Amino acid sequence: MNKLTKILIATNILMFAMVVAVIIKYKYQAKVRSEMSKTKVAQAYNYSKNRFYKEQMDLFTAYTSQRNVVMLGDSHTYLAHWNELLDRGDIANRGINSDNTGGYVNRLNEVLKINPRICFIEGGINDIEKDIPREETIKNLSSIIDSLQKYNITPVFTKVFYVTKKYPLSAAINKKIKELNTEMDKITTLKHIRVIDLNPLLTDGEYLNPNFSIDGIHLLGKGYLIWRDEVLKILTQEKI
Domain boundaries, the chain: 1-44, 48-237
Per-residue b or e along 40-56, where b marks 16 or more CB atoms closer than 10 Å to that residue's CB: eeeeebebeebebbeeb
pLDDT along the chain (240 residues), means of 10: 55 51 42 42 63 86 94 97 97 96 95 97 96 96 97 98 96 98 97 97 96 96 98 97
Q: Which residues does 50 contact at the CB level (< 8 Å), separation at least 6? A: 96, 97, 98, 99, 103
Please give the Cα distance from 192 to 220 (Å, whole number): 31
C-beta of residue 170 within 8 angstroms of C-beta of residue 135: no
Residue 49, pLDDT score: 76
Residue 145, pLDDT score: 98
Please give the Cα distance from 209 to 238 (Å, whole number): 30
Give the containing element (helix H, strand E) for 69.
Answer: strand 69-73
CATH superfamily for domain 48-237: SGNH hydrolase (3.40.50.1110)
Which residues lie across from 203 on neighbouring strands?
208
Angle value at C-alpha 30, between 25 and 33, nearest 5 degrees: 125
Residue 14, pLDDT score: 52
C-beta of residue 167 within 8 angstroms of C-beta of residue 131: no
Residue 47, pLDDT score: 77
Query: pTM above the 0.75 mark?
Result: yes
Closest CA to 105 of 125, 129, 132, 123: 123
Q: Which residues does 228 contact at the CB level (< 8 Å), separation at least 6? A: 85, 86
Strand pairing category for 154-158 and 118-122: parallel
Residue 221, pLDDT score: 97
3-state secondary structure of 198: coil
